[in-house]
Amino acid sequence: MTEATKDIYLTNFAQFERGVAQNGQVWTQPLRKAAISRFAELGFPTTRHEEWKYTNVAPITRIPFQPAQRTAHGLAAEALAIATIPDFVGAQLVYINGHYVPELSALHGLPHGVEVGSLARALSDRPSGLEAHLARYANFEEQAFVALNTAFMQDGAYVYVPRGCAVDVPIHLVFISLPQGEATVSHPRNLLVLEESTQATVIESYIGLGNDVYLTNAVTECILGQNATAEHCRLEWESAGAFHVATLQIQQARSSNFVSHAIAVGGALVRHDINVVLDGEGGENTLNGLFMATDQQHIDNHTRIDHVRPHCTSRELYKGVLDGKGRGVFNGKIVVHKDAQQTDAMQTNKNLLLSQDASIDTKPQLEIFNNDVKCSHGSTIGRLDENSLFYLRTRGLEEADARSLLTYAFASELVNRITLAPLRTKLNDRVLTWLPRSQRVKEAR
């Protein structure tokens, strides 16, 4: 990162800090100052950093991004329809360039006591409810993008589910980036708090309209109390020229259950970190992921699951589909701490290369500091099976149709793990749209 680039962020922060103080967020100033100071010390990561060895963020550091402005100007109903889920019944919160837009949002079907709304409003109106959790889990000491998000966090979603409450309808958080005529950056910050014995489904969608260059730098902290259950779906289909960096931090208490579905198909350069801490006995965690890259897209998935307490279970399956000159990265680490007896952990990464120029860097890892465990990990890289292709050709399919059908079958396994049927339908359609000869695949499946 050049000094000129650093100065832009520091100057923008000085202006931003004065504004949030006037909005009743004075209590966040020490946190923001600590975060921007740490960012100034760290700078953006380079390929010399082990965790960023295969992802070069130099294109991000060279662009003088300016803060994205809150506007819904020019957003037609048909554009918003791209983000919505057909036959969706539930609460939907819409954010334009990182800012909550209440007139486009609808909070339907939420039980009494559940709080769902703008983080900016919550920061001003009820700091006592946020201080215990906000920025307590997503650590910015070693993560430059998390530090930058913490310094500039202004808006996003705040979801609070009180003890013993089950939210029967899904909560959809829709983040839309609109063209603004210059390179802009937004820092959505989401805080999801599920108290003891609760249940909820949360969907995060990140979508770009237009072909402008922009950066989305998002952080979500999800805290599960004892016996809480959550299903979290994260959908990334940014614009072709966009940069997208995100962190999902999950903190689980005793006997809680968290299921994640992460789908990434858009953007020029994408990095997604998922960090899980199983900090209560008997916790369960499932990470499902699908990433699809073509042309010169670069999609990087980093996951880390920390088994801190005994008798916890984790399951992880990530699949990559790479075509054209697309490049994928998967780095999955499971850490079993010394007090985490009878841990049961399994990690799998499978990758499908559709062209000679596509590539994948995969690195599954286990760090075990306890002998009483059952752990496994593995990775595969391959092309479409020739015998399967031959079989489909003998059934009358052209070669291109057969290839698309087999690719769809490979990818749809992850999509079909999602519980919410309307979302499964939308994502299956999205996968089909990505494939050549999609109409023939629809007819053949």
Instruction: Please state, as a whole number, how many other Cβ atoms lie within 10 Å of the Cβ of residue 247.
Output: 22
In a domain, 31, yes or no: yes
Same domain? 239 vs 98: yes
In a domain, 338, yes or no: no
Using an 8 Å Cβ cutoff, are 245 and 217 in contact? yes
Task: Tell me, yes or no, whether 373 lies in a domain.
Answer: no
> pLDDT digit string (tens) for 11-38?
899 888 887 766 767 788 899 999 999 9
Between the two ends of the chain, the Cα-to-Cα distance in Å is: 49
Q: Of 54-63, 179-188, 217-226, which range is least confident?
A: 179-188
Q: Evaluate if residue 80 carries a pLDDT over 80.
A: no
Question: What pLDDT sits at residue 1?
Answer: 53
183-214 exposure pattern, b = at least 16 Cβ within 10 A, e = fewer: bbbbbbbbbbbbbbbbbbbbbbbbbbbbebbb
Place of tokens 């983080």: 119
Range with top average pLDDT, 92-106, 201-215, 249-263, 383-397: 249-263
Q: How confident is the model at residue 209 (pLDDT cuts 50, 70, 90)?
A: confident
Range ranked top by mean pLDDT from 89-98, 261-270, 397-406: 261-270
**Residue 202 covered by a domain:** yes
Q: Average pLDDT in the 190-217 region?
A: 95
Structural domain includes residue 360 = no
- The answer to whether residues 333 and 365 touch, using CB atoms and an 8 Å cutoff, is yes
380 found inside a domain: no
Range of the domain at 422: 385-445
**Among 388, 424, 430, 433, which residue's Cα sits nearest to residue 406?**
388
What pLDDT score was predicted for residue 7? 79
Q: Which residue has the higher pLDDT, 395 or 118?
A: 118
In a domain, 407, yes or no: yes
- The residue from 280, 301, 328 where one domain ends is 280
Out of 68-82, 124-138, 168-182, 374-388, least confident range: 68-82
Query: Domain check: are 271 and 408 in the same one?
Result: no
Percent of the chain with pLDDT over 70: 95
Name the range with the highest mean pLDDT among 25-34, 125-134, 181-190, 243-252: 243-252
- Assign residue 387 a region (left: φ > 0; alpha: ψ between -120 and 50; beta: otherwise): alpha
Mean pLDDT of 334-353: 97
- 3-state SS record for the chain: CCHHHHHHHHHHHHHHHHHHHHCCCHHHHHHHHHHHHHHHHHCCCCCCCHHHCCCCCHHHHCCCCEECCCCCCCCCHHHHHCCCCCCCCCEEEEEECCEECHHHCECCCCCCCCEEEEHHHHHHHCHHHHCCCCCCCCCCCCCHHHHHHHHHCCCCEEEEECCCCECCCCEEEEEEECCCCCCEEECCEEEEEECCCCEEEEEEEEEECCCCCEEEEEEEEEEECCCCEEEEEEEEECCCCCEEEEEEEEEECCCCEEEEEEEECCCCEEEEEEEEEECCCCCEEEEEEEEEECCCCEEEEEEEEEECCCCCEEEEEEEEEECCCCEEEEEEEEEECCCCCCEEEEEEEEEEECCCCCEEEEEEEEEECCCCEEEEEEEEEECCCHHHHHHHHHCCCCHHHHHHHHHHHHHHHHHCCCCCHHHHHHHHHHHHHHCCCHHHHHHHC
Does 62 score more than 60 pLDDT?
yes
Res. 49 pLDDT band, cuts 50 70 90: very high
Alpha-carbon gap, residue 285 to 112, rounded angstroms: 28
- Pair (274, 396) in one structural domain: no
Q: Which of 245, 280, 315 is the last residue of a domain?
A: 280
The confidence band for 82, taking pLDDT boundaries of 50, 70 and 90, is confident
Are 152 and 23 found together in one domain?
Answer: yes
**Which helix (H) or strand (E) is 404 found in, with range?**
helix 399-415
Choose one of 280, 299, 320: the last residue of a domain: 280
Residue 139, domain member (yes or no): yes
Mean per-residue pLDDT for 126-144? 90
Asked whether residue 410 falls in the same domain as residue 276, the answer is no
The pLDDT value recorded for residue 70 is: 77
Confidence of residue 438 (pLDDT cuts 50, 70, 90): low
Report the number of distinct structural domains present in the chain. Answer: 2
pLDDT digits (tens, 9 = 90+) for 265-300: 999 999 999 999 999 999 999 999 999 999 999 999
The mean pLDDT value for 248-255 works out to: 98
Specify whether the CB–CB gap between 217 and 148 falls below 8 A. yes
